[in-house]
Structures are given as structure tokens and as C-alpha cells.
Amino acid sequence: MTFNELRKDYLLNRWVVIATARSRRPTDFARQPTQQAKSKNCPMCPGNEHMTPPAVLVYLKTKNGIRKTHDVENSRHKDWLIRVVPNLYPALCPPQAKPDIAENKDRNLLPGVGHHEVLIESPIHDENPAVARPPQLVHVINAYIDRLRELAAQPYVRYVSIFRNHGLEAGASMSHAHSQIIATPLVPTIPQEEMDSAKRFWKQKRKCIFCDIIEKESKGPRLVLKNSKFAAFAPFASVNPMEFWVFPRTHQTSLLQMQENEVKTFAETLKDCLSRLKCLVNDPPYNYGFHLTTDKESSDWYHWHLEVYPRLAIWAGFEKSTGMYINTMTPETAAESLRKARS
């Protein structure tokens, strides 16, 4: 029994062909598994702090709890729990001088100003979210929040993208557990299109479209798990096999609105979901990215969430040239598998 259907995303003008027959196709390519190097020379491991720029944020453990600080030039804190350092190979850099917006007459061109940071999630090389000690994962989320608050306040920043690449095939060049943060001088296409679409819905119905979606998906066949604070589900028009999204069940526009107990529950929810994925598909490469806004104007209609994209397929000529996707697994099957998986 195979299945062919075209589905459109809740908000984006993005279509996916759900085509289950394609999952059975053979290959004549032989492939070696990716090997991970040992951490002896890992610039993110303790003892190698001199290999990174000074940290802009360090969490240190003290008798009285966590002390938040930063490194000073030519000196690095050693006994840390979390470090956030500028990316040595940045996509975007802070402006050298005040950027002269008036000078920029070309609508197709902007100076590459912003920030690009690496968030080292643990002193332990392999402590990624699927296996992390819960208190350590709480530190990770808190560090996301701290950096989001600071970067979003910069006058030249319009959006802050917090994301994670797990495994070489998912674009992680280093195997030490880390996330990245890129602050951009414009709102990128996907969150902007989501905001525009959510705004139109709100103007018509005076309610948040995401709140509607969460309520509906919390009861249906695409639910992965829910608890008092969060719901995780496979989206109706998933573009990746095993894709799932995690939403706060109450209306919040960004991570900045989370209470302390919500941060703890979010860390537990994230670990639960990612460890299910790890058990089910043998620790697959994946990407995740937060969708959020810190723009007050959008606070009525935008609702933050995390999107997790397992890399179990390759987007090829069709996807790249058309912007339409092929997914060989229904989100209903994905959700059922994830519900049944051991976490």
C-alpha cells in the first residue's frame, strides 16, 4: 500500500509530495560510515580554551549556584559549564563603525553585519541534548536565552537564529556538542513569511494561528508527546522523514518569555524527543532551529517553536530547483514511530 499526496505547510507557500513508495528504492553506491575524531585537539574541550577567541559568556559553577561572566583578552576561564565564543569563521561580523544605511541604495545588497557565535554545550565532548544530564541541558537553554536577549538588543540586529547541527552529514564541522547563533540585519525569508501569514490570520480572526494548530495537533495522529507546558508533533506537511516541531502550549513569542520552571520542562521535553529519535534511527544526523520573534509588533500573532529536521534523505535537483519537496514518510507514521520509541 503506497501513498501519494501533495500537502501545503500551515503558513508557508511550501508544498511537499508525500510519496511512500520512494522509501523502498535501492542504491548502487557503497558508503562508509562517518568516523568521529578523538577529542585530544578539540578546541571546544576543557584545557584548549586558548584555541578559541575569548568567551562572550561563560557559566561557572560556584557554591552559590551559577556565576555568569565572560573571558578577558589573553585569559580564559577554565572551570566552565557553558562557553559562548565568537565563531572564528563568521558568516556575519559586528559593524566596525556605525553602518551608514543611507548609503545603501541597492535593494539587493546589504553589508554583512551581525553576529555569529558558537555555544559550547558542555565540557564533555559528546554531551549532546539526546543524552545530556538534565541540569546541563537547562544551562544550554538558559545560555540561548541570555545570548538572544543581548543580541536582539543591538540596533543593527533584526533576527536571531539559534540552531544546532548534529553530525557531519548535517553540516557540523566539529563533533563536540555545540549550537550556533547567527544574528542577522534582516528577518530571513521563512520566519518573515510565517509572520506575514500569521498576521493575516490574526487580522481576520483575532487569534494566534499557532495556538489553533497546537490545539488541533495535540489531539490528532501527528502528536509525538505533550506535557503540561509543551507539545511536540510531526507537522502536517513535513518536508523531512521524522521531522517534528516543539511548541509551548501557552502563547509566547520568544524564549525570553519562558519562566524558570518552563525552561526545565522544555529541557526535559527536548531531551525526550531527541532521545526517541536517537533510539529509533540509530543516532541520525539532524538540524534544529528556533523560530521566534523579539519584535513587539508581532507579539499577538507569532508563537515561538523549535523545528527538528532529521537528515534521512537528500534534497536533490527537484527540491533545489523548484522549492517543492519529496518526503517518503507520512508524518502520521513518523509520529507513531516516535510515540512508540524508547526515550
Interface of this chain with its own copies, residues 283 to 342, rule: CB under 8 A: 287-291, 307, 309, 314-318, 320-324, 326
Would you say 184 or 269 has its CB closer to its own copies? 184
- Look-up of cell digits 529541557: 267
Which of positions 131-170 make contact with its own copies (CB under 8 A)?
159, 161, 163-165, 168-170
Q: Are the beta carbons of 110 and 91 closer than 8 angstroms?
A: no
User: In this structure, which amino acid lies at residue 338?
Assistant: L
Q: Which of residues 82-101 bind its own copies (CB under 8 A)?
A: 88-93
Taking a C-beta distance cutoff of 8 angstroms, is the pair 199, 134 a contact?
no
- Among residues 248 and 289, whose Cβ is nearest to its own copies? 289
Amino acid in position 311 = R
Q: Could you say which residues in the range 48-77 bind its own copies, by CB under 8 A?
A: none
Count how many residues are written for the chain: 343
Among 1, 30, 102, 153, binds its own copies (CB under 8 A): 30
Span near its own copies by CB under 8 A; candidates 77-85, 142-150, 171-179, 219-227: 171-179
∠ CA 118-275-31, rounded to 5°: 80
Q: Which is nearer to its own copies, 133 or 216 (CB)?
A: 216
Q: Which of 191, 235, 248, 331 binds its own copies (CB under 8 A)?
A: 191
Closest-CA residue to 161 (of 108, 94, 112, 115): 115
Q: Is 29 in the site for its own copies (CB under 8 A)?
A: yes
Total chain residues near its own copies (CB under 8 A): 89
> What letter does residue 23 receive in the DSSP assignment?
G
SS3 state of residue 5: strand
Measured in degrees and rounded to the nearest 5, phi and psi for residue 320 equal -70, -35
| Complex with its own copies: residue 51 or 66, whichever CB lies closer | 51
